[in-house]
Structure 1
Amino acid sequence: MEFKFTVKVILLLLQVSIGVPANAFVLMIYAYAAYGEKDLKPIDKIMCHLVFANLLRLLPKGPPEIMHNLGLNNILDDAGCKSINYITRTARGVSICVTSLLSIYQAITLAPPTTRWQFLKSRSQKDIIPHIVGFWLFNMVLYISFAKQLFAVKNGTRPRFTYDLGFCYSKFIEPPFYYINMLLIIGHDVFFVGLMLLSSVYILYVLKRHREQVKYLHSARQNSKAMAERTAATNVIKLVSLYVFFYGVDTGFMVYTSGLSSVSSLLSEVRVFLSSCYAVLSPFLIISFNMKMYRKFRYPHKEKQMKSTDMNACHLKI
């Protein structure tokens, strides 16, 4: 095996072996919390779908990519090729949308309780799931045309007028339809990244103004409340920054290569690898944001003991 393919297999193995268990672990934590609390907070619901989309971003495509680079060909038929790439692309699109929704929701939460914002605050609590379902449906429809152009590698021969996608090929699309399709996908990415950035800038503005307002207040209540708001907003900004870096590079490469007649395989592989890094690293950030939930999952008996102690204390007071 050539050195290039050896490095690629090692990196893919690292992504799958680290990213898949990490995302599955976070999903398990949220499932345990949902079972125990019966109802998750809106921000936790957003995180669940983000982690699930990241899992779909890594799991279906990782093993076939690794097998293909190890020299195993004809591992998928046309249906398998279309399905895996369609699921991966849809998950990527949902990940963008849900990350954007997360930043917008945090911005609305931090907004001052004026009449103008109060309506959005009340609506944001109710419309989280409809928006997320809409994101899934929208991205599923968006990438149907992409999936139709794919077919599996057969007998190790590459047909003419195709793009090499590893274990699959993609047919060339006529220029008008190709540019319309690329405009939709790139426009989708730019729009939701723009919403992320605007929301993050507003969050920073609100935090700065709030810090100035409480600067001369020495009340522990005021300081603890400000610290909690600042921590929650900082966590969201970290997640958005991680997304903007990796997917921003991915979108930049996509824009650059869309005008080229031929694209080097190394450039395409670097783009795909970087875009997958967000799905690998984001669960570790989410775990660090939810240490209280993690402790509840790891030490369930202590949680029950604390609840029973609190109940006994209440009865004694009565």
Structure 2
Amino acid sequence: MASRDLAIGVVCLSQTVVGLLGNFSLLCHYLFLYFTGCRLRSTDLIVEHLIVANFLSLLSKGVPQTMAALGLIHFLNDIGCKLVFYVHRVGRGVSINTTCLLSVFQVITISPRNSRWAELKEKAPKYIGFSIFLCWILHMMLNIVVLLYVTGKWSNTNITMKKDLGYCSGEGNNEISVSLCVPMLSIPDVFCVGLMLWASGSMVFILFRHKQQVQHIRKNHLSPRSSPESRATHSILVLVSTFVSSYILSCLFQVCIVLSDNPGILLVNTSALISVCFPTVCPFILMSRVSREHRLCFAWIKITKSPKSIINV
């Protein structure tokens, strides 16, 4: 095994293990809060589905890519390749949608009561579950097309038209399929990224205007700590900026793979590393906000000394 392949395998393995442990720890934290009587916020449902999408992305991309980088090439048959790529695409799509939904919901949450979003403040939480359900259904239907263009390396059908994707093979460039499938799969993602950028800009504007309005209050020796809404907004802004950066890089590499008749193994491995970057980093960005909620919840339970006491964190 070449030293370069070994290095890529070690990086893939480390990235996958760290990402799985981070998402598992965050999921256990939410389960612990739930079973100890803490009432979770509306956005926590979005975060929980984001964690599930991260798990799917890491297991379907990080694990097989690690095995391939360490020298195990022919470990998936035709059905296995189709399933792995399909699960990864669904997890990636739901991750995009839930991050977008989280940022839009946070804009509605922190918007002033006299703004045009005032009517949505009470209505928005009621539609979160339905919106997440639509995200899963949409991407499960859209990405069925992936099953048609990914095969295992053991398959002998159209072998001259295949391109090497590491541990699987893909159909070679076809102008008709590219012109139909690429827009169908990319338009929803581009729309969500644009919506995230708009939501991030709106959050920055709202926080800046709020800071100017309360500047004279802070001079009167009040607590300089920001509100829970502001801290949550800051963490979501970091989350969105991290996602958009990794998404743009991932798209650039995927475009190169799609347009190339025979993409190099280094290009395929680099694209895989970038594609699981966000699922790896995501739980650690959210953990600071969740840890504050943990302390607030148990501080309230300790003060009230009542097992029935709950707090909306």
Same-fold status (TM-score > 0.5): yes
Say if 2:73 is the partner of 1:76: no
> In 2 relative to 1, CA 253–220 (structure 1 residues): closer, same or farther, beyond 3 Å?
farther
> In 2 relative to 1, CA 65–272 (structure 1 residues): closer, same or farther, beyond 3 Å?
closer
Determine helix, strand or coil for the equivalent of 2:163.
Answer: strand
1:109 paired residue number: 109
Say if 2:253 is the partner of 1:244: no
1:315 paired residue number: none
Say if 2:270 is the partner of 1:273: no
Q: Residues 1-318 of structure 1 correspond to what in structure 2 (within 5 A)?
A: 1-37=1-37, 39-114=39-114, 116-154=116-154, 159-172=159-172, 174-218=174-218, 227-294=227-294, 305-308=302-305
> In 2 relative to 1, CA 255–61 (structure 1 residues): closer, same or farther, beyond 3 Å?
closer
| Aligned AA (1:120) | L
Paired residues of 2:23 and 2:54 also in contact (CA < 8 A): yes
* Deviation at residue 35 of structure 1 after TM alignment: 2.5
> In 2 relative to 1, CA 221–82 (structure 1 residues): closer, same or farther, beyond 3 Å?
farther
Aligned-partner Cα distance in 1 for 2:221–2:181: 53
Paired residues of 1:33 and 1:293 also in contact (CA < 8 A): no
Aligned-partner Cα distance in 1 for 2:28–2:220: 35
**Residue by residue, what CA displacement relative to the aligned partner does 1:251-286 show, whole Å, maximum 9, x if unpaired?**
233345544444333223212211211111111111
Determine helix, strand or coil for the equivalent of 1:54.
Answer: helix
* Deviation at residue 114 of structure 1 after TM alignment: 2.6
Could you state the TM-score of these two structures normalised by the residue count of structure 2? 0.88
Greater CA drift, 302-311 or 95-104: 302-311
Q: How many equivalent pairs are there?
A: 308
| Aligned AA (1:267) | L
* Deviation at residue 237 of structure 1 after TM alignment: 0.2
> In 2 relative to 1, CA 220–93 (structure 1 residues): closer, same or farther, beyond 3 Å?
farther
1:314 paired residue number: none
Give the % identical residues: 30
Determine helix, strand or coil for the equivalent of 2:113.
Answer: coil
* Deviation at residue 81 of structure 1 after TM alignment: 1.5
> In 2 relative to 1, CA 219–307 (structure 1 residues): closer, same or farther, beyond 3 Å?
farther
Higher relative contact order (CA 8 A, sep 6+): 2
The runs of at least 4 aligned residues of structure 1 exceeding 6 Å deviation read 155-158, 219-222
| Aligned AA (2:215) | K
Determine helix, strand or coil for the equivalent of 1:116.
Answer: coil
Paired residues of 1:182 and 1:258 also in contact (CA < 8 A): no
Gaps of 5+ in 1: 312-318
> In 2 relative to 1, CA 267–173 (structure 1 residues): closer, same or farther, beyond 3 Å?
closer
* Deviation at residue 40 of structure 1 after TM alignment: 2.4
> In 2 relative to 1, CA 227–26 (structure 1 residues): closer, same or farther, beyond 3 Å?
same
* Deviation at residue 76 of structure 1 after TM alignment: 2.0
Aligned-partner Cα distance in 2 for 1:2–1:157: 30
Gaps of 5+ in 2: 309-313
> In 2 relative to 1, CA 217–83 (structure 1 residues): closer, same or farther, beyond 3 Å?
same
